[in-house]
Structure 1
Amino acid sequence: MENRSKLTMSKVIERFSYGCGDFGCNIIYTAMSAFLLFYYTDYAGVNAFAVGTIMMVSRFFDGISDVIMGVIVDRTRSKYGKARPWLLRMCVPFALSGILLFSVPTSWASAPKLVYVFITYNLVSTVIYTAINVPYSALNALMTQDPYERSVLSIFRNLLATAGTLTINTFTLPLVEYFGDNTSAWTKTFCVFGLLAVAAFLVNFFGTKERVRSVASESGNAEVVPFKVGIKALFRNKYWIMMTGMLALFFLMYSVNGGATVYYAKDILGDRNLVGTINGIFNVVQIAGMFFIAMLVKKYGKRNVFALGLVLDIIGMLVLNFSGGAISLIVISSVIRGVGNACGGATMWAMVSDTIDYGEWKTGVRTEGLVNSACSFGYKIGNGIGSALLGLILEVGGYVGEAAAQSASALASIKVCFVWIPVAVYLIGLVIMKFYHLDREFDGIIEDLKNRAKNKQEV
């Protein structure tokens, strides 16, 4: 009984440690999605469309670096495994690059400022974030092949990711105000967040272990998979294609919706501090919902729980859009969307990990790093397009950062970004899920892979 208790506690600690990685990642990711464009336009005095264009162009570089990092992860050999060494190596550079991102020299002219934005944005997203997030994304598939445990790990990942998002959404503006509500206040704020991110990644590194090896590794015949072979295998993996497309759309939506939140609160609802109310309740409910999602996944499967989340997200967005600014309806909307996001967040990354096993079964090639980096390539392209789209729509709508009141077209553009683009993405997601059947095929696939490994060992 005592040994069982120790085993259970050990599992909980490892799950928590795994989730801490996305807590650290979200320190920068949420800041970039929710506040970076606002910081650039309203504090650093940089043109929204120019910044959006830089973000979009940079995401293409970022996508290429993701694939390169995926290959590096697959070829990494160390006593810590394939992915974990990179968490340790990159945690401090990650924190420093985030500080630089929110340190635009405001005394500079427009052109030099844009050069600074281009360099620091690419340092963060193309180099540093990629070098830590791609290995982290591969870690789930390297820790276990048990589909339920993967779902639980994904739940912990989303729990801690949501906690990271909640931390940024709740404390960024209050800390900025505490430090003086000027450009240097943003730098000081991200010095605090940087230390928090380093601590999270250290917990992630020391608290997890890689256990899964390919069939070839199990039989002692492991070889480095050539890049061309790995890429061809990816495009024979129909479920990977579906999840990559889904992620690209979702992160386009996250970028547009997340970046528009502060504008929606400030200009539609009339109080920028409602960002804390909208996101705070949403994140708290999402965290609470995570404790019940594992039971739903066990009973109904990842795909069905994910689809349920999409339906709830649509309902929540429509309630908010027609709330008329009523606090009670804003709260109800945040609760509904929080439950919806709990369903999606708890299953999405576990579904990506499942496509790795399907790919190995289908093609004989297992590439955790390449699968996750190519997914990352897709969603970062989506994120980059979303960032540019947000800036473009605001610019076309006539948004002026320093204006006391926005025009009707500017307000309409904010609603398009915050409400209608997300609703469209959720609907497309429901269509994609109609063709996703890996849940019911997965047990047979794992059994077949185990038999292949056993037969190779006997030979």
Structure 2
Amino acid sequence: MVSDSTRTSADERLPRSRVVGYSLGDVANNVSFMMTSLFLMAYMTDIAGVPAAIAGIIYGVTKIWAGVTDLIAGNTVGRRETKWGRLRPWLIWVSPFLAISLVLLFSTPAGLGPTATIAWVLLFDAAFQLCYSFVNIPYGSLSAAMTENGTDRSRLSGARSIASSMTGVVLSLVLSPQFEDTTADDIRLRFTTATIILAVIALVLYWLCFRSTREVVPAGAGELTLKTTLQMVRRNKPLLVLCLGALFLLGASFTMNAVMLYYARDVLGSATSFTWLYLCQTIGTIAVASLIPAITERVGKRVGYVALAAVGVVGFVLIALTPTGDLLVALLAFLVFGAGFGGTNALMFSMQADTVDYGEWRTGTRAEGGSYSILSFVRKVGQGVGGFLGGAVIGAFGYTAGAQVQSPEAIQGIKIAAGWVPAALCVIAAVALWFYPLTNDEHREIVRELNDRRARHAFGEATAAGGAVSVADGEFVVAGPVITINEQYGAGASYVAARVAERLGVPYAGTRFSSEQLEQAEATQPAAASAAVTGSSAAAFGSGGMLGFLRSFSRTTTEGDASVSADALSDSRLIQQNVADVIDMVRDSGGVVVGRDATVILSEMQGALHVRLEAPLRTRVSRAAEAYGVSTEVAAQRQAREDRMRVLMSDRLMHWDPTDASRYDLVIDTSEISLDDAVDMIVAASEAKRAS
């Protein structure tokens, strides 16, 4: 149990030491994950002596097994409460076994025969994947258990993303040169020694992560059964299409990943080129992140996914056509590939969140965790298929382990495995996603209907609880006047709303977010607004959830990130809580509510008046500067920030546009009339609407 005294409030910030300590866990994770994903294939063929085709089979089987172990771990961890929490102890309990299995995997004895070598690698790779799941799944869920503060979750996510990127680059610098000459007498000892050092470093980092972090958020009550989840999945066509696309997209990426080191060494002429290729791929992925919101808004997620998959195809084709030894062309190719794959991967998780809404709309079951688990499993299967194809192709074209120079046929096989095969798989992924049935408009309608259902459910509870809520002609009616107000920053909503409430004798509720809170959040995550669509939407409301919506602004798509489903489940509960809170504000005698998406939540309430306040930019900045006692420069900065972020938040949370005039009964330009006249106009309009 987590005592109230250890809980962090929405406004209480995590110490920097905990954020850094949490990120160290991802460094440890990526030491092992990237070693197996990027270097195991080359180790098996060039050092352990496993034939390329067999190495591909091992790679494929163990990645699919990893999908199974993820499901097992996801259903196991977090059930047992200890004095250290539900999740953190797994980092200490399992990491020693993870380190041992990693060292043994990369320490194949030289005297083993071919069959024994294959059995050794297969056994310890399977053991490694099992241990990795039981460390990574609790670690991925830990951020949601460390804090309910959305800004802090963004800090944890950002720190993890930076740690992951840095680890990949450093690991490539350390290990890729080891494959320059795999015929050296001491190559096995050198690789074992390097793995032991890395494993010890990982253990220390896991221990530091354990010591630095704390679980303060209690476990949620109730879990969906596997049967219920599978019933939802069967009727969720968008999720099924997304999974099909993920299978081929991850297959494409991991076919290339499996042979990337061969490509750097045998096609480009130096194993150290691997680091530069990996760096360019990472730069492409980061660069495209800033374009995802604009792509989604202008063409939709489905078309955006297909278009970015086409960019990935171009990258793979360039990889295949790069002349032998031409590093500059290869760097360009990997930059393009990184942009294409990074963009589609980001959109995949955004679309997965949409399929959760569709599943709830279609079946009445909301299964964030189940949806993510199914997609994660399919992604692991795709990784396995990709690794298998990579090994099979280079084996079929006569790759010779340990050869100083590969034959022209073998070089061509590596190019096919790194370029043409992934390009074909990426095309299939794009074709599959072309049939993704949810457009932006359709998803908005689904979310609008879900919000109506939640509001009606909350209205029903309010009626049952004995509030002053009644039903007339299928609509809910409150005894007192109900007014919702949205504004452009500086249009005067706080002044107007307070006086309207005073005139009508009803409660007044201001915006959930202050200017200072939004400013603080953007200072913590300066790239927040540009990355808003890269992950699951998070609500900004509820106990401990203040600024929770900002969580989605820095969502990363680190492989196996179980916090995606944990955050999505938390988001769903917070959204429902916000609906209930808004209704509770007006249930007894009516009220005036500013922001909080009350315009949408109370759209079905009979007699409710919905108002929008606007004014020219210069007027609003001048008025805000005078009202809040700040300079015009500060007011202008707040205006730009708030007008952008509040629209983004409403879109991500409730999928509506607060600037859409058709949503309101009354739109007032407060530069044309005084704020007191606006108060008179709103009071009169409310009385007239209630009388009609």
Residue number in structure 1 paired with 2:612: none
- Structure 1, residues 300-322: CA drift from partner, whole Å, max 9, x if none? 56556544432332222333333
Amino acid at match of 1:334: F
Q: CA deviation at 1:102?
A: 1.0
1:420 to 2:424 alignment? no
Residue number in structure 2 paired with 1:276: 275
Q: CA deviation at 1:105?
A: 1.4
Structure 2: distance between partners of 1:322 and 1:275: 18
Structure 2: distance between partners of 1:391 and 1:203: 37
Residue number in structure 1 paired with 2:131: 128
Amino acid at match of 1:39: Y
1:378 to 2:378 alignment? yes
CA separation of 1:81/1:146 partners in 2, compared to 1, >3 Å: closer, same or farther? same
CA contact (8 A) 1:150 1:350 kept: no
TM-score by length of 1: 0.78
1:187 to 2:186 alignment? no
Amino acid at match of 1:281: C
Deviates more, 1:98-107 or 1:349-358: 349-358
89, 97, 114: which one pairs with 2:101?
97
How is 1:141-220 mapped onto 2 (pairs within 5 angstroms)? 160-174=163-177, 182-198=187-203
Q: CA deviation at 1:394?
A: 2.0
CA contact (8 A) 1:233 1:363 kept: yes
Residue number in structure 1 paired with 2:231: 232
45, 49, 54: which one pairs with 1:50?
54
- Structure 1, residues 60-96: CA drift from partner, whole Å, max 9, x if none? 4443333333333586677988766645654443333
* Highest RCO, 1 vs 2 (Cα 8 Å, sep ≥ 6): 1
TM-score by length of 2: 0.54
Q: CA deviation at 1:401?
A: 0.5
Structure 2: distance between partners of 1:383 and 1:169: 20
CA separation of 1:212/1:454 partners in 2, compared to 1, >3 Å: closer, same or farther? farther
CA separation of 1:373/1:190 partners in 2, compared to 1, >3 Å: closer, same or farther? farther
CA contact (8 A) 1:20 1:203 kept: yes
Amino acid at match of 2:372: N
Residue number in structure 2 paired with 1:71: 75
Percent identity reads: 26
Q: CA deviation at 1:39?
A: 0.9
- Structure 1, residues 324-352: CA drift from partner, whole Å, max 9, x if none? 24333223223323333442344433443
How is 1:337-356 mapped onto 2 (pairs within 5 angstroms)? 337-356=337-356
Amino acid at match of 1:416: I
CA separation of 1:318/1:153 partners in 2, compared to 1, >3 Å: closer, same or farther? farther
Q: CA deviation at 1:274?
A: 1.8
Structure 1: distance between partners of 2:20 and 2:253: 25
Q: CA deviation at 1:129?
A: 2.1
Residue number in structure 2 paired with 1:444: 448
Amino acid at match of 2:411: L
CA separation of 1:120/1:48 partners in 2, compared to 1, >3 Å: closer, same or farther? same
CA contact (8 A) 2:258 2:386 kept: no
Deviates more, 1:36-45 or 1:132-141: 132-141
CA contact (8 A) 2:143 2:156 kept: yes
CA separation of 1:333/1:55 partners in 2, compared to 1, >3 Å: closer, same or farther? closer
CA contact (8 A) 1:323 1:329 kept: yes
Equivalent pairs, count: 445
35, 38, 42: which one pairs with 2:42?
38
Which structure shows the bigger proportion of residues in helix conformation? 1
CA separation of 1:204/1:362 partners in 2, compared to 1, >3 Å: closer, same or farther? farther
Deviates more, 1:435-444 or 1:369-378: 435-444
Residue number in structure 2 paired with 1:3: none
Structure 2: distance between partners of 1:112 and 1:15: 44
CA separation of 1:97/1:289 partners in 2, compared to 1, >3 Å: closer, same or farther? farther
Give the RMSD, CA atoms, in angstroms: 4.3
Structure 1: distance between partners of 2:459 and 2:422: 48
Structure 2: distance between partners of 1:143 and 1:294: 29
Structure 1: distance between partners of 2:232 and 2:383: 25
Amino acid at match of 2:113: A
What stretches of structure 2 of length at least 5 have no aligned partner?
A: 1-9, 465-692
CA separation of 1:239/1:445 partners in 2, compared to 1, >3 Å: closer, same or farther? farther
Which structure shows the bigger proportion of residues in strand conformation? 2
What stretches of structure 1 of length at least 5 have no aligned partner?
A: 1-5
Deviates more, 1:133-142 or 1:166-175: 133-142
- Structure 1, residues 84-138: CA drift from partner, whole Å, max 9, x if none? 664565444333332222111122222222221121011012x112223445566
CA contact (8 A) 2:311 2:339 kept: yes
Q: CA deviation at 1:259?
A: 1.4
CA contact (8 A) 1:308 1:343 kept: no
- Partner SS for 2:112: coil
Q: CA deviation at 1:369?
A: 4.2
- Partner SS for 1:72: coil
Deviates more, 1:255-264 or 1:317-326: 317-326
- Structure 1, residues 193-219: CA drift from partner, whole Å, max 9, x if none? 335545666677766879798xxx6xx
Amino acid at match of 1:423: A
Structure 2: distance between partners of 1:79 and 1:236: 41
